[in-house]
């Protein structure tokens, strides 16, 4: 057997042990072995290495047993953390610190409208991070990485952001900028991929997942047979320019007419109410839209029907193409999805009967406005998925 094969087996076994313990208060080595189906010797040896790195810590079992009372192991959640940045919305930076059990320890949101370049945004984010470190009470804190949610596609060829719904990030080498500033691993992705990965991390019994996110723009993340679909350049599942939108509306990014994102985006949806001042920050405009769409009148019913139908049409395309076990709707649209739901399901019942009859699970991933907790937890899950501490 090659050395690389041995290292690969060790990495997989280590991750299996971490996965088994991750969301548990504590487990004994025997309990980890039983739950993971690994041998006790393998669990014991690898757990000892993880203890030596302070990733695992010993805890005493509370219950009394006959004979020697074994120690149990717990994840050192106070010392191993992740940094999460949410750059989905124009002129807004969301910052959070999340531990490996997806607990958000700290979060803030900043108006960055005065910053004019990606470089300035990165410098500002680093300043926010440094200020957090000064206030965090645990010594020798270790960060496994920084995760960033962007309203764009991460180009796998040159590492730049492309097809961004926020112009300042177009062609920005954001990953390189953050790597240089933070000196830690960086994961950059669009929120749809992040939500898909997060859903898969939590529900690994489902190997085929579609996550449709509607926020600053519209995006889709696809897990197929347990793998995230990216394509050659990272552009796979890009749906913003699928031509099922209003043919009278011109897309400000590609110049064509009828792109679905011209309607299914925060800017597109708030446009239905011209009385909402366009000079307000996007999140404020969206909150006003949510208030107005809750009013019961002929205009709001027309808007709800249109958005629900369009969301359903895009959903049916994705369901019929990828045949998922679970379909999730995420993003800011989640806060009004209960109103759109009848029209959404009307499209699915007409076009996806087989999938529905065979138990397709459909659910929303709610954003806790303005904190976007799901974004931060999803970024933590993505970083954790890439983390192999004994390699």
Q: What is the pLDDT of residue 365?
A: 74
Q: What is the pLDDT of residue 65?
A: 52
Q: What is the pLDDT of residue 3?
A: 45
With both helix axes pointing from N to C terminus, report the angle between 29-36 and 3-22 in degrees, rounded to the nearest 10.
Answer: 110
SS3 assignment, position 295? coil
SS3 assignment, position 222? strand
Architecture of the domain whose range is 3-75: Orthogonal Bundle (1.10)
Contact 177, 119 (CB under 8 A): yes
* Top-level class of domain 80-190+376-386: alpha beta
The answer to whether domain 80-190+376-386 and domain 195-365 are alike in fold is yes
Q: What is the pLDDT of residue 347?
A: 97
* 336 phi-psi bin (left φ>0, alpha ψ -120 to 50, beta other): alpha
Q: What is the pLDDT of residue 66?
A: 53
Q: What is the pLDDT of residue 157?
A: 84
For 148-192, the DSSP string reads EEESSEE-TTTS-EES-SSGGGTT--HHHHHHHHH-S-EEEEEHH
362-376 pLDDT, tens per residue? Answer: 988 755 544 578 789
Backbone φ and ψ for 378, nearest 5 degrees, come out as -65, -40
- Asked if CATH classification 3.30.420.40 holds for the domain at 195-365, the reply, yes or no, is yes
Per-residue pLDDT of the chain (391 residues; tens, 9 = 90+): 454 555 688 889 999 999 999 999 999 999 999 999 999 999 999 999 999 999 999 987 655 455 566 679 999 988 899 999 999 888 999 999 999 999 999 999 999 999 999 999 999 999 999 999 998 887 788 999 999 999 888 888 888 998 888 889 999 999 999 999 999 999 999 888 988 888 887 777 889 999 999 988 899 999 999 889 988 888 888 899 999 999 999 998 889 999 999 999 999 999 999 999 998 988 899 999 999 999 999 999 999 999 999 999 999 999 999 999 999 998 889 889 999 999 999 999 999 999 999 999 998 875 554 457 878 988 998 899 889 988 7
Q: What is the pLDDT of residue 62?
A: 58
Give the residue among 176, 186, 190 at the shortest CA–CA distance from 118.
176
Q: What is the pLDDT of residue 244?
A: 96
Q: How many CA atoms lie less than 13 Å away from 270 in the CB half-sphere?
A: 25
Contact 246, 261 (CB under 8 A): no
Show me where the domains of the chain are located: 3-75, 80-190+376-386, 195-365
């Amino acid at each position: 057997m090659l050395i690389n094969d041995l290292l690969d087996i060790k990495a997989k076994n280590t991750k299996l042990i971490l996965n088994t313990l991750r969301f548990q208060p504590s487990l004994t080595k025997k309990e980890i072995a039983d739950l993971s189906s690994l041998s006790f010797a393998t669990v014991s040896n690898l757990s000892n290495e993880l203890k030596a790195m302070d990733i695992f810590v010993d805890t005493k079992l509370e219950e009394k047993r006959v004979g020697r009372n074994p120690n149990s192991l717990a994840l050192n959640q106070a010392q191993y953390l992740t940094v999460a940045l949410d750059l989905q919305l124009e002129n807004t930076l969301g910052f959070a610190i999340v531990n490996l059990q997806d607990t958000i320890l700290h979060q803030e949101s900043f108006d960055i409208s005065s910053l004019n370049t990606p470089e300035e945004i990165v410098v500002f984010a680093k300043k926010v991070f440094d200020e957090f470190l000064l206030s965090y009470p645990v010594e020798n804190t270790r960060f496994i990485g920084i995760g960033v949610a962007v309203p764009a596609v991460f180009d796998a060829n040159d590492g730049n952001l492309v097809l961004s719904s926020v112009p300042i990030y177009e062609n920005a080498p954001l990953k390189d900028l953050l790597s240089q500033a933070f000196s830690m691993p960086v994961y950059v992705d669009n929120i749809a991929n992040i939500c898909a990965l997060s859903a898969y991390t939590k529900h690994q019994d489902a190997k085929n997942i579609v996550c449709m996110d509607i926020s600053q723009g519209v995006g889709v993340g696809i897990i197929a047979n347990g793998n995230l679909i990216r394509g050659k350049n990272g552009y796979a599942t890009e749906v913003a320019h699928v031509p099922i939108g209003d043919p009278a509306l011109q897309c400000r990014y590609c110049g064509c007419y009828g792109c679905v994102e011209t309607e299914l985006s925060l800017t597109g949806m708030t446009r239905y109410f011209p009385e909402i001042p366009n000079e307000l920050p996007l999140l404020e405009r969206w909150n006003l839209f949510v208030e107005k769409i809750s009013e019961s009148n002929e205009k709001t019913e027309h808007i709800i029907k249109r958005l629900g139908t369009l969301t359903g049409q895009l959903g049916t395309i994705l369901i019929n193409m990828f045949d998922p076990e679970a379909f999730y709707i995420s993003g800011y649209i989640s806060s009004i999805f209960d109103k759109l739901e009848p029209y959404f399901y009307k499209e699915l019942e007409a076009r996806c009967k087989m999938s529905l009859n065979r138990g397709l699970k459909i659910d929303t991933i709610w954003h806790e406005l303005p904190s976007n907790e799901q974004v931060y937890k999803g970024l933590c899950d993505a970083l954790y998925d890439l983390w192999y501490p004994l390699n």
